[in-house]
Amino acid sequence: MGVDVVLMQVTQRGTSPKKRQLITVECVQDGADIFSGLCVNSSLPMLNRVDPYRTQILTSVDMPQFISEVDATCDLVKGQRERDILERIRELAERCAEAASLELHLQGD
């Protein structure tokens, strides 16, 4: 039930959603269910909405709140494994915040 975090490059010619293309830029895999567990147990609104069974798409507009919630969670965790995955996710979120053509996909199983 892990939630993989995937940074996607979006290209779209014209206005038709049929022309929308996604290219994977980078991925943080959650094979040990660390991030999904943190999200399920989070009291923070954005992280708590992450569904371990579905995909949630975040844009650059969502990144300030997402980054602040990842930071707050990182401050609370005690384990190095949890801190490491949150730091890697934060790096992807920072990159997403810099460009409107990027999306952060939170991919559940």
Residue with tokens 């038709």: 16
How much is the pTM? 0.91
More confident residue, 104 or 13: 104
**pLDDT by residue (tens digit) across 10-55?**
997 777 777 789 999 999 999 899 999 999 999 999 999 999 999 9
| 108, 3 Cβ separation under 8 angstroms | yes
Per DSSP, 92 falls in state H
DSSP 35-77: HHHHHHT--SHHHHT--TTSEEEEEGGGHHHHHHHHHHHHHH-
